[in-house]
Structures are given as C-alpha cells and as structure tokens.
Amino acid sequence: MNWFVDPRKMRMPAPNEALPGRSEAIRVPERHAVLGSSLRPPYPAGSEIAEFGMGCFWGAEKLFWQRAGVVSTAVGYSGGYTPNPTYEEVCTGRTGHIETVRVVFDPKKVTYGELLKIFWEEHDPTLGMRQGGDKGTQYRSAILTRDKAQQLEAEASRDAFQASLKAAGHGTITTEIRPAPEFYFAEDYHQQYLKKVPNGYCPNHATGVTLPADFFKSEAAAQRAADAAKAIEQAR
C-alpha cells in the first residue's frame, strides 16, 4: 500500500478535479472465494447490508467473513465522485473514494451492533486520512449507513467509543457516518485477497480500546432501536 504519499492525496478533491471514470462496471466473480455465496445482489431474503471503511480493505474484509452470521463480503470503493473507478485511479487521490468493505449479514445470527463493535475495535478511527503508514483519502474511516436505524446505532456507538478512547488517552474520532452512496465493486484480485494470498499485507491498527460488550444489549440500546423504528415510520 502507499507509504510515501503526495500531499494532494491527503485532501478530498473537488468534484471538478475528479477523474471521469467510466460507465462500465468492474467485472467480479459470481461467488465468494471463502463462503461460496453470491458476491453481488440479489442477496438471500432477510439479509441486511453494512458498509465500512477502516483502512486497507484486504484485512478488514477478512475480519468480517470470519464472523458467524455473515452471509457474504466484498470490497469496493464508495464516497467519491468517479464512477466505476479502478484501484489505480483510487490510489491517485483524484476519485475521492474510500476503500470499503460490504458486509451482507443475517440479523437473526449477528446484529448490526456486533459488526459495529468489530469496526471500532479493529482500527484507529482518530487518524483522519490514514491508517498507520497507509496515507490518503482512500484510507479514511467511515460507516456508510443503509437506513435510519443503522445511522442512529452507528452514532450512538461512536459516542460510546469516543468516551472509551478519551479515557485511554486517545484523540477525537474522525469517522464519517452518513448514508451509503453507491458502492463500486473492486477488481477480482482484491476480492477475498487474504484467501488468495494468505501471507499478504494485513496491518493491524487497533487501539486496544474496546466497546463495552453489553453496549448493544442495554436498555439504552432498546430505546435507540425504538427511536429508530419510530423515525422510519414517520419518514414513510
């Protein structure tokens, strides 16, 4: 990944600075190399989608495909301007995209909150446009939410994790939490990369700080869920 970085890659490009991209989607395999499930939609009935940016997407994807209840995972690019970007284009810093992991999960077997716990604990969300030595806009931390319920739960988890970070002497969270933009699948060789290259690049930038195990089982969590359901109903 990127160790020596042009300073221009450390700032978001303006829309008129972005590369033009293309109308054709990047081709990817039909099946997940580990789970054997579909990489693209449609996904199984009842499944839900979560999307996260937490630095290099190779290691991040493996964290989630190992979790029981996860149906499928894929890596791609989100949050920028360039349609159907290539990896080389994203690395220029001129697309504005984040290296993103899509997690398709069965909410009866693993909750969104449990996935958020993995997200917060397995990277450093205070670093802005980098993770460790990986520097550039593509490495910024992000939770890209699919509905109001996810947005509220993500924001609540951020606030709780910030309190734990502060107590441990860490800085302020820079994670973007916003509705998910279009997800562009990354190239074939990036999908389940650490299955294909078992000893491949996989840095660990975890802070060692944890989100309380009972955070998503508390009365406050139940209230957040009720508030989210109410907000969704009012929006219809």
Average pLDDT, the chain: 93
Tell me phi and psi for residue 137, to 5 degrees. -60, -30
What pLDDT is stored for residue 218 in this prediction?
Answer: 63
Does this model's pTM top 0.75? My answer is yes
Has residue 1 got a pLDDT over 50?
no
Angle at 217 between CA 213 and CA 219, to 5 degrees: 130
| 3-state SS record for 136-147 | CHHHCEEEEECC
Active site residue 91: no
Query: Structural domains in the chain?
Result: 7-235 (3.30.1060.10)
**Average pLDDT in the 223-229 region?**
68
Tokens of 102: 């899509």
What are the pLDDT digits (tens) for 165-199?
999 999 999 999 999 999 999 999 999 999 999 99
Tell me phi and psi for residue 204, to 5 degrees. -115, 115
**Cα–Cα dist 186/192, whole Å:** 11
Q: Which of 49, 54, 56, 180 is catalytic?
A: 56
Judge contact between 85 and 94, C-beta under 8 A.
Answer: no
Q: How far apart are the first and last CA of the chain?
A: 44
What pLDDT is stored for residue 36 in this prediction?
Answer: 98
Tokens of 142: 């992000």
**Cα–Cα dist 187/221, whole Å:** 38
